[in-house]
Amino acid sequence: MTMDLNGRVALVAGGTRGASRAIAVELARAGAHVYVTGRSSGGTRSEVGRPETIEGTVEAITAAGAPAPRCG
C-alpha cells in the first residue's frame, strides 16, 4: 500500500533509533514534511552509549530519497 502524504506535516518524537526512526523515514518517503526530535546527537551521545544520533536519522531519510527533515 502506497500513501501520498505530499503537503502533510509529521512530527516524530524519539526518532533517533528503532521504530520511530523507521517511521520517520517512511513518512518522509511518502512525501510528508517530517520534524524529528531525539535526545542523542553528535554532541550528546546516548546515556547508554548507543551510536545512533538524530543526525543519522536525517541522513537515513535523505538516503531514502526524501527531502531532508527538520530536526531538533
Give pLDDT tens digits for 27-69.
Answer: 988 988 888 898 888 777 777 778 888 889 989 988 887 766 6
Q: What is the pLDDT of residue 12?
A: 94
Pull the grid cell for residue 59. Answer: 541522513
Q: Is 10:36 a contact under the CB 8 Å cutoff?
A: no
Q: Is 48 left (phi over 0), alpha (psi -120 to 50) or beta?
A: alpha
Model's pTM, two decimal places?
Answer: 0.81
Q: Is 35:12 a contact under the CB 8 Å cutoff?
A: yes
Torsions phi, psi of 47, nearest 5? -65, -15
Handedness of CA 72, 32, 20, 52 (dihedral sign): negative
